[in-house]
Structure 1
Amino acid sequence: MLKLKFLHNIENKIYFIPTLYAVIATIFSALVVYIEHSYSDFLINNIPALFLSSYDLSKTIFSTIAGSLFAMITVSFSTIMVVLTMYSSQFSPRTMQDFLKSKVTLKVLGLFIAGFIYSILNLLFLEDNIAAPGEPSFFSTIIGVIIAIVCLGYFVYFIHHAANSVQVNLLIENLKKEIIEIVDKIEARNDNNELIKNEAPDDLKEKMKREFCEIKATKSGYIQVIYDIELSKLADKYNLIIRAEKMIGDYITENSVVFKIWRAEHKEETEIEIEELKAKVNSNLVISNERSKKNDIEFGLLKLTEVALRAISPGINDPNTAIFCINQLGWVLSRIAVANIENTYYYNEEGEVCFIMEDISFWYLLYKTFYQLRHYSNQDVSVAGSIIDALVIIAEGSPENIKEQVWKFSDYIIDGFDKEVLEQEDKKYLNHKIYKLAKETANKDNKEKYFDVDSVKGVSWK
């Protein structure tokens, strides 16, 4: 488990991929230099002269490549800073890591660093005594040329990637895909594991009445990962019931109770046993000073919401972007509504519950997604209408309990509109949206939510 936590922590660092590429380049460069010095006669006799170069030519080529790649690194770094500034000011500070930690950005920087290291090391160990003076004998040069061409291609691709990244529609689409991927991953895991269920055991309340032990966090920060499968195995091994009191994305301190533990059967405990148990349980928790986008559904929804909020702010005033973003939020929530990810109970082979993770409810996600948008768009008819459209998207294809929640939640949304600024045509427009929602949720006969208008001529409610 410590190995998994170490890998997770290091993979989240920006320097991980560039450092990995640098280490590989160093090893590869040392290998090429060793082969070139130890088997020079074999290389000269078996490799076509076209692929070999002289000492002077190799020195010139490596010097040129090293300088060019260093210039590419500088330009790439400047481009990254410009994009990050735009992300922070135009979109949301929380979205900066989506560009900075994207695989394309890190791999491009890693490749440039690797090419620079390869060139500078080969230039350092270049010697003019491998073969006869002036005779082509260096094959490392052709490898350097190939690396330089590949780096040039990646540089063009990086510019294309940076240009696409500042297009808000593509950013919103990528944010949506990230959330859907998390939902798909969790649902696939739950569906393929017969020991993970949504139903609690009948005697769970009785078991929860027993004496329990609280486990607090070892440090403050955001929960990035809870190794639920490992915790369920640990609980089964020691005859325990473990319940997570905090979820992924929650901010905790050293005083926060993260887990509660019950003994499945009465058993005397010692302080040593309890401390050892606490250490084992806490080892299955990853805490960091920032939220991670890998497993945090709520964080993904938060970023989409912030992009929409920034778009409707007076400084930017881009309601169409907000509408597009809200439509994507509706699609994401509609996917979550039918996914098997809520309130998971982990059982052992004997059918006894051993780990409980009662995740955030759909109603809570619905509220956290739209409550700020409701407040800041209470005078914008287009954005308010798009929120109702998003509720229609959520209701479409959802089970009856979700439809009922969406219809009740629409009361909260509609009551937040500033009715004093709505003209007659605005009310007709919103009434049409409300009717579509009422029709989708089987509430057509409910007329209480409609705005009072003098005339509805030209508006069909059928």
Structure 2
Amino acid sequence: MTVNKDETKSLWMRFFDRVQNIPKSFIQLWSLQTLTDLPDRLRNLWQQLIGSYWFIPTACVLAGLLLAPLLLTIDQYFDREAVRKITFAFTGNDDAARAIMTSIAGAVLGVAGTTFSITIAVLSMASSQFGPRLLRNFLTDTPNQFVLGAFIGTFSYSLLVLKSIHKYDVDFGVPQLAVTFAIIMAIICALLLVYFVQHMVHAIQASHVIQGASNEAIKNIHYWYSDRCEIQHQRDIEHQDLQTFHTWSSTPIYPSSSGYVQQIYLESLITLTQEYGGVVQIQVNTGDYVTNQNVIGYFYQRPADHASNQKITDLPHLAVLPRAPDGEFWQRFAGCIRLEQRLSHSNDISYSLSQMTEIAVRALSPGINDPKTAVNCVQSLTSCLSIMMRRQPPTSYHFHVPTQENETSETIDQAQRLSILAVVTYIPTILDFINISLGEIRRYAATDLMVLKALCQAMVNLNYSCVNHAQQQTLLHELELIKRAGEENLSYQELVDDLMEMCQQAEQFILDEDAQHKHFHYTSEFAAHIRQSLQTQSS
């Protein structure tokens, strides 16, 4: 088979063009994955660093390695007579300096080993009592990491200073300032040891662990939920594409690998959908487990005669010609969703609520049998859910709003009217959050009257935060489930009657139109009879 010169030249030209396009594609992909959603990506990286137990101790070791040569250099140019005037400064000979530095290095290393042993023991106890989900809270505890880092940082600093002490060097053999700083650090390490023991005693208390998980959940709620309803959110609901995009040509979306969904980078997805002229609908949420065969969403390709495509001549930044997903699309889509092989910390509200739920479920197990801890978890979950009910939930619809040069108020309003639907996400409702938190506790506390009454009280407390009729119906539905759980599982009829009476009073209170301005206090029929008898006798 013969190949002429023209065909050979054509092959070389095509090969050269492909080689030229590789850097361009790499630069485009790199800039998309690096610059778009940069705050979220940096925050995820920072959470991974903080979540590791080695980050802060390693930083302390590096600080010790840098401080040692710095202070040794200062020592060489510092006036020795001025140092002797400082009362707490070290002014001994090289043998004394070497003995002090050897003692400090050995002592802090031994204490660091003891600290690490205590930490491992606490982690083992926390895993059995509170659940493995809470281990990250202990590992990411900044005081614990800083204490361990101070010990090993002082050890590394002492070794470098000890190496610089020379016996026959009269002028610079004894680094007085460096040894003085080591003595100060040794005293600080002794105080940190006392603080570490006191901190660990409080850290393993159930109330402290529950409060920490509650604070993390509230932080995530504030991250996703806004404190007021935005006008733009109302405009998004009335967008013309919301009712019609399901009728467009669709392509199933599969994840690149199996794992837990940790983060969805919306800005990257919006940029991707604008280049391909379509809408991406994601039907999974952060924390969900998916396999590489799961359909996690769809790409809806915009029709060729769509109004947004007609404006390409007037507003080039507004629309592009629609095209079907290709290899580059799937490669870039894989960078828009972060998957992990294990469920780790993120801004997921469900993950934070599940931590308190797991504490309550373990407290209700026969091996622990601590219903009071379960009640504390119910109360903390009620506080978190009440905040969610009062705030504006995140919108499921995300739009591309083109920016133009020399924008004025009129052009901004026009851009808002010409916004293009880009990404549709799945947002859990308050019913979903109640079901995975208080509902899960209800299923395990079906035989415990104390916890069931706490759940009933939680429905009343959540009623104070209701802002619409749907939330009220959700509370009544959960209250009915609490009533049925107690009716079918409590041991004595007197206990069942007590719970039924409280649920009935709670239901009447929730249905009261003026309930948010009244105080609810449950009083059983027997307690009311005793109180009336005492009042009759006293009168």
Distance 1:168 1:8 in 2: 24
**Displacement after TM superposition at 1:344 (Å):** 3.0
* Aligned equivalent of 2:510, options 415, 440, 445: 440
**Displacement after TM superposition at 1:415 (Å):** 1.6
Distance 2:113 2:121 in 1: 13
Distance 2:143 2:201 in 1: 13
Partner in structure 2 of residue 450 of structure 1: none
Contact 1:196–1:344 under 8 Å retained in 2? no
Which amino acid in 2 is paired with 1:289?
Q
The answer as to 2:139 corresponding to 1:71 is no
**Displacement after TM superposition at 1:249 (Å):** 0.9
Which amino acid in 1 is paired with 2:504?
I
Distance 1:189 1:239 in 2: 33
Percent of residue pairs identical = 22
Partner in structure 2 of residue 155 of structure 1: 193
Tell me which moved more, 388-397 or 220-229: 220-229
Partner in structure 2 of residue 449 of structure 1: none
**Displacement after TM superposition at 1:406 (Å):** 0.9
**Displacement after TM superposition at 1:30 (Å):** 3.6
**Displacement after TM superposition at 1:225 (Å):** 2.1
Q: 1:42 to 1:102 in 2, by over 3 A?
A: closer
Tell me which moved more, 202-211 or 93-102: 202-211
Which amino acid in 2 is paired with 1:331?
S
**Displacement after TM superposition at 1:227 (Å):** 2.4
Runs of 5+ consecutive residues of structure 1 not aligned to the other structure: 445-452
* Larger-gyration structure (1/2): 2
Tell me which moved more, 232-241 or 69-78: 232-241
Distance 1:324 1:256 in 2: 38
Cα shift readout 1:263-313 (whole Å, capped 9, x = no counterpart):
44644647xx73222222322332223323341211121111111111122
Q: 1:82 to 1:391 in 2, by over 3 A?
A: same
Structure 2 residue matching 1:313: 3-state secondary structure:
coil
Distance 2:278 2:69 in 1: 53
Distance 1:119 1:190 in 2: 55
**Displacement after TM superposition at 1:176 (Å):** 0.9
Partner in structure 2 of residue 44 of structure 1: 80
Aligned pairs (5 A) from 1:376-415: 376-400=444-468, 401-415=470-484
How many residues in Structure 1 have an aligned counterpart in Structure 2?
446
**Displacement after TM superposition at 1:130 (Å):** 4.9
The answer as to 2:232 corresponding to 1:164 is no
Which amino acid in 2 is paired with 1:172?
I
Cα shift readout 1:188-245 (whole Å, capped 9, x = no counterpart):
4997995798736342131232223444323322222222344334444654423322
Q: 1:362 to 1:454 in 2, by over 3 A?
A: closer
The answer as to 2:387 corresponding to 1:314 is no
Contact 1:392–1:440 under 8 Å retained in 2? yes
Contact 2:57–2:145 under 8 Å retained in 1? yes
Distance 2:246 2:105 in 1: 65
Structure 2 residue matching 1:63: 3-state secondary structure:
helix
Partner in structure 2 of residue 99 of structure 1: 138
Partner in structure 2 of residue 117 of structure 1: 156
Q: 1:294 to 1:211 in 2, by over 3 A?
A: same
**Displacement after TM superposition at 1:440 (Å):** 2.4
**Cα RMSD over matched residues?**
3.2
Structure 2 residue matching 1:117: 3-state secondary structure:
helix
The answer as to 2:303 corresponding to 1:303 is no
Q: 1:334 to 1:7 in 2, by over 3 A?
A: closer
Which amino acid in 2 is paired with 1:375?
R
**Displacement after TM superposition at 1:395 (Å):** 1.5
Distance 1:193 1:231 in 2: 24
Contact 1:407–1:438 under 8 Å retained in 2? no
Partner in structure 1 of residue 335 of structure 2: 283
The answer as to 2:377 corresponding to 1:339 is no
Distance 1:198 1:149 in 2: 61
Which amino acid in 1 is paired with 2:425?
M
Distance 1:262 1:168 in 2: 49
Structure 2 residue matching 1:416: 3-state secondary structure:
helix
Distance 1:110 1:254 in 2: 41
Runs of 5+ consecutive residues of structure 2 not aligned to the other structure: 1-32, 35-40, 305-320, 402-414, 515-523, 532-539
* TM-score scaled by length of structure 2: 0.74
Structure 1 residue matching 2:480: 3-state secondary structure:
helix
